[in-house]
Chain A
Amino acid sequence: MATLKINSIAKTFGKKCALNDVTLSITGTFGLLGPNGAGKTTLMRLIATLDTPDSGEIKLNDLSWKQPHQVRNLLGYLPQHFSIYKSLNVYEVMNHFAVLKGISEKDERKREINYILEAVNLQDQKNIKIHALSGGMLRRLGIAQAILGDPKLVIVDEPTAGLDVQERVRFCKLLRRLAENRIIILSTHIVEDLEATCDHIAIINEGKVITSGTRRELTKHADGHIWEMDSPIDADPPIPEQAIISTVQQGDHYRIRFYHDTELPGAGQVEPNLEDAYLYYMKEADHV
């Protein structure tokens, strides 16, 4: 199986250090998780050959990113803010990208476009102008153009941003389905998206990789640190604000989920999920 190796990448913009010594090994469906400004987009742009790192290297098997032209033959890219010509319709846009990606035979192009539109559930919107698409449809069109030409490396930057819950769920399922035989890298700051799609996850913050591994490995790190307890509505919660992960109203009291390194009276230990793990990592990073 192909592995994308990212080795000690650094990238600065002026004085701002956007990526610092990033090393990752990417296979399958890979999620980049991190808060705003963490460096996700920067990293993805480097992988998409839109920019070059100040140091370090990127390689897919023997193919080095120093030969961007060859890399581009393998790429499918959905930028963070995807937008396309409003006056064209879905098919015209897809056809344009198909031609640009070198699918020169007309029937073949037609077949592939139809296949992909079917896959992203845009078949009915084929003749609809872009300006008439909903945000979710536009995102799906974005992914559709990205996977045109059957790229081996698909990079999608915050594909679920701006989508409602239902759309998000559908979109994640779609990504899952597309993940066969290729590497998909997606970035998000919404943890739930990754639960449904990604085998491997890296958490980055302030340009640095905090951790990376399978979902299981990440949640394991928070084992024994996640607790829940009930607290009356009118009283102040007994837990410091920064440690609270979530507060849910249940009847006449709140159910509070929080981290704590040691046992607290009245609190019960719970199994950590990915979000708990993520927040726990971020909290640790803050302390450093």
Chain B
Amino acid sequence: MKSRIINTLNILWLQLLRQPLFLVLLLGGMIYEGLGLHQIVNPGEFMPRSSFLVQGGILAFLFIGIWSVRMDTVHRVDDLYLSIHHAFVPRLFAKWIFGALISIFVGVILYIEYAIVYLAEGFSLNHLFFSAFLYVMLYFSFTFYISYLLGFMLAFLTKDRVVYLYSIIIWGLIGPANFIFLGRTLQRAAEILNLGEPNPTIGYDGLYGFANDSVYWQKHLLWFVILLGIFLLTLSLKYRVFTRRKTNVLVISLSVIVLILTISLNLDRQVYSAGNARTKPREMVEQYYYFKKQVVPKQYTIRATSYTIDLRVKRLVTAQVNMTLKNQEQHSLRHVDLSLYHGFKVKTIRVNGKSASFSQKKDLLHLTLKNKWIPGRNLKVDLNYQGLSSPLFYANGQSVYLPYYFNWLPSTQLSPSFTLDNGNLTRMNHQNRQKISYVLHYRGRTPLYTNIPERTHNEWSGNTHGLTLVSGEVQSENKNGERYVHTTNLKNPQMNDMQKQTETFIKTAKKDLDLGHRAVPKTIFRIPILSISDLSSEEFAWYTDDTLIVSDASEYLLKEGLDSYVNWLVPAVTWKYDGIHVSDLDYVRAFDMTYAYLYNQSAHSRNDSEVLDWYQGVKSTGEKQEVLEWLSHWMKGQVAKNIDTSVAKKKDFCRSWYRLMKSGDTSWDSLNQLLKKEMGRS
């Protein structure tokens, strides 16, 4: 059997190699890929955009599959094999193996081309290239193999020439560009049938990495098992290759596998779905959910002092959290409210070791206490929960992004996870005012990057304002006790520049605005944390004493984009850090804009006054309009001669403005007064 199969493989390979069309197609594919590689400068970006290459390959492999059968049926050579003992079946099996081998062969060729080009361009050989290989194996090779088998089975079951027509139809249905053929109405069907890149029309997410999720492997596997089942069944029924008992065993075991895979595919899970105009962007899910404002109950001053977390992140997030709370009110409490993202379903809660009754409504947990909670006393709360994280905060086998400001842990900050500001989704900050002690046990994608140190294997502990977990297509660099975590698709990660710019900004802003305590963060995460149409500028960066998260994965930022970087840092380091809440986000945006402009002017003498057009762009009336107009004039220097237009003076104004904000007064009215006074207008 073995030598028969090997010889058949050899014969098939010789025949394929002597098909000029095969070589032409392979070469054509490589040239097409080369053009793509030339145009797409980023190794991450290339793969999701290779859909047309895959789409073309699918057709080619459907035809190769048909060819592999029709070479024997058209001239009835298969009769000859049937008349030879042990020739027909080994040849068929050899063809199944052959399909796998050439699919892998073509995938490897295309991968080598990809790797050579990007390595030659100066990208370093890191985990991304390993992920890219898996991606190629899944979406090129495995997809090609299934296409080959589909072609094979079509020709095996229908000796007619119509197989070519059928295969063209199948080609339209299973490729990553199938939405073009299936249209909007059959979008769901298009997603299910698609054997290529699941997000073909959208960019690469540097944190999530390629769509190598196990669910996609399972989907391919399901196709394979079904095709194998049909094949073996045909062999058994038509050619009586197996005994009846063997056939039964076969049918039963394959059915069980199909059943298991089908069930598994239908389980709840979180996968990266970027969405775009065609499909629903992932923030839309949350936008709908938070459309209705949530009730925030009265916030008592209770404080969490410690968390012990046992976290498992795979298909679902499973958490066992033991937390200690302290009552800092003057009076006893009969209940406790905590916020927790609604995707995490709480199963049990124990208070001081005894199971407690609770209710979970949207992002709010309400615990009823059996005994009075006396002021100053601790309360031990143990929670068990499981579920899916928000589509904007990954937590699955591929990627983890659970930052301190997201209430993935039960938080004493009662605001919901998100809110809508003029229809725009805004993340609510659940940063703690005081440091809390954390102990974390984690099982999930590794390596895990967090802002507390790892003590022993899989155990982290430390004190911080909030725990941030990151894992995915990222890597880190450590220097002088500082850590820089960035996506793997950066040619030049710019650690030094990043540290320098950040440190300079924090120190300068601290002085300029009299901010009080501000540390230079020991850990910087440079990872994309926003979705495509989710652009509010204050969400690009998040800062605590030990952690800075910057949403970026391009080298542009620290070069021409430096002004924007400052723009992102201002809100992170000032009012977001201090937990200042305003009803009109334009108010803080005016502040961000003004200070960032002044900083940029003095730090790297930029004079890009175009950004100042923002003031006029905002819809405003009354005091707001007046403030914005005056700010615009003053910043541009279009004011009377006696008014001081020096940067120092304007920065003084910003300092007073920030003091005003911190005092809790964020009305346009007071700001107008302040502006008048500082400018020296009457």
Which residues of chain A have a CB within 8 Å of any CB of chain B?
A: 45, 48-50, 69-70, 72-73, 75, 77, 79, 81-85, 87-88, 92, 95-97, 99-102, 104, 145
Contact = CB atoms under 8 A, between A and B. Distances in A.
Contact of A96 (B8, B75, B85): B8
Contact of B14 (A73, A84, A92, A101): A92
Contact of B7 (A49, A82, A96): A96
Contacts of B81: 100
B11 A87 contact: no
A72 B86 CA distance: 9
Given A100-B4, A100-B91, A75 B84 contact: yes
B83 A87 contact: no
B71 interface: yes
B75 A83 contact: yes
Contact of A72 (B3, B7, B14, B85): B85
6 shortest A-B CB distances, which residue pairs? A83-B75, A72-B85, A87-B18, A100-B87, A99-B7, A77-B83
Interface string B73-85: 0011101111111
B71 A85 contact: yes
26 contacts: A50-B79, A50-B83, A72-B84, A79-B76, A81-B75, A82-B75, A82-B80, A83-B77, A85-B11, A85-B15, A87-B14, A87-B19, A88-B15, A92-B14, A95-B7, A96-B11, A99-B7, A100-B4, A100-B7, A100-B8, A100-B81, A100-B86, A100-B91, A102-B85, A102-B86, A104-B3
A130 B75 CA distance: 14
Nearest to A97: B84
Given A50-B83, A75-B83, A100-B4, A87 B15 contact: yes
Nearest to B77: A84
A235 B81 CA distance: 57
A68 to B, nearest CB: 9
Contacts of B85: 69-70, 72-73, 101-102
B83 A72 contact: yes
B203 interface: no
A70 B91 CA distance: 19
B14 A88 contact: yes
Interface residues of B, number: 24
B90 interface: yes
Nearest to A104: B3
Which of A69, A84, A99 lies at the interface centre, i.e. has the most chain B CB atoms within 10 A of its CB?
A99
A271 B325 CA distance: 122
A77 B83 CA distance: 7
Interface string B1-21: 001100110010011001100
Nearest to B75: A83
B358 to A, nearest CB: 70
Which of B11, B15, B19 lies at the interface centre, i.e. has the most chain A CB atoms within 10 A of its CB?
B11
Contacts of B8: 96, 100
A17 B90 CA distance: 34
B215 to A, nearest CB: 41
A45 B3 CA distance: 28
A48 B83 contact: yes
Contacts of B3: 99, 104
Given A85-B71, A95-B7, A77 B15 contact: no
Contacts of B15: 85, 87-88
Contacts of B71: 85
A275 to B, nearest CB: 31
Nearest to A103: B3
A94 to B, nearest CB: 11
Contacts of A88: 11, 14-15, 18
A99 B77 contact: no
Interface of B: 3-4, 7-8, 11, 14-15, 18-19, 71, 75-77, 79-87, 90-91
Nearest to B240: A68
A1 to B, nearest CB: 23
A87 B18 CA distance: 6
Given A100-B90, A101-B87, 9 more contacts: A50-B79, A72-B84, A77-B80, A82-B80, A87-B18, A97-B84, A99-B4, A100-B4, A100-B86
Nearest to A75: B83
A59 B138 CA distance: 53
Contacts of B91: 100
Contacts of B90: 100
Contacts of B7: 95-96, 99-100
A256 to B, nearest CB: 42
Nearest to A146: B80
A48 B86 CA distance: 14
Nearest to A93: B11
A279 to B, nearest CB: 31
A85 to B, nearest CB: 6
A100 B19 contact: no
B87 to A, nearest CB: 4
A64 B581 CA distance: 93
Given A83-B75, A85-B71, A87-B19, A50 B4 contact: no
A49 B11 contact: no
Contacts of A50: 79, 82-83
B18 A81 contact: no
A101 B80 CA distance: 11
A15 B84 CA distance: 30
Nearest to B71: A85
A100 B84 contact: yes
A145 B85 CA distance: 14
Contacts of B19: 87
Nearest to B72: A85
Contacts of B4: 99-100
Contacts of A104: 3
Contacts of A95: 7
Nearest to A129: B18
Nearest to A98: B7
A75 B91 CA distance: 18
A96 B83 CA distance: 15
A58 B85 CA distance: 18
B11 A92 contact: yes
A99 B90 CA distance: 11
A75 to B, nearest CB: 5
Contacts of A73: 85
Contacts of A72: 83-85
B10 to A, nearest CB: 8
A150 to B, nearest CB: 13
B430 to A, nearest CB: 68
B11 A101 contact: no
A49 B83 contact: yes
A55 B4 CA distance: 34
A281 B76 CA distance: 33
Given A81-B76, A88-B11, A101 B84 contact: yes
A111 to B, nearest CB: 17
Contacts of A85: 11, 15, 71, 77
Contacts of A100: 4, 7-8, 81, 84, 86-87, 90-91
A104 B7 CA distance: 10
Contacts of B18: 87-88
A102 B87 CA distance: 9
B537 to A, nearest CB: 63
A157 to B, nearest CB: 10
A45 B83 CA distance: 9
Contacts of B14: 87-88, 92
A70 to B, nearest CB: 8
B94 to A, nearest CB: 10
A79 B87 contact: no
A83 B80 CA distance: 10
Which of A69, A84, A100, A101 lies at the interface centre, i.e. has the most chain B CB atoms within 10 A of its CB?
A100
Given A95-B7, A99-B4, A49 B82 contact: yes
Contacts of B79: 45, 48, 50, 77, 79
A137 to B, nearest CB: 16
B310 to A, nearest CB: 59
A146 to B, nearest CB: 9
